[in-house]
Amino acid sequence: MALTAGALADIVRVSRAYELEPKLVNVPMSPSSSMLFSNCDGCETTSGQLNAQTRFSVDGKTVDFDKFCDAIRLAKRSEGSGILVLHHLESNAIVSVSVSL
């Protein structure tokens, strides 16, 4: 399916996904706090707001906030782990955070 130039002009980015190294993600303090992360060492830090709608998962399974934080701490000590953050840009809300151990 082809898009016309006019249709392309109407595309607006509403969310951004970040694939992150665990060492570049701060463990949030509460399920309603800000979450800080960076794309690389020396890159500017990004902040997004966690809220009641934020989904937390570990290895594809939905978990509560405490288990999610434990998984981030474990990922920081594990080789080959990663974190995927979906950030809604307009509201600055973190939609989901997935940890792969």
Dmax over CA atoms of the chain, in Å, equals 48
From the list 48, 47, 64, the residue with the least C-alpha distance to 56 is: 64
What pLDDT is attached to residue 13?
72
CA 55 remoteness from chain centre: 10
| Residue-by-residue pLDDT tens, the chain, 101 positions | 555 655 556 667 789 999 999 999 999 999 999 999 999 999 999 999 999 999 999 999 999 999 999 999 999 999 999 999 999 999 999 999 999 99
Please give the DSSP secondary-structure letter assigned to residue 39: S
> Domain locations in the chain?
13-100
What pLDDT is attached to residue 1?
52
What pLDDT is attached to residue 73?
97
What pLDDT is attached to residue 5?
57
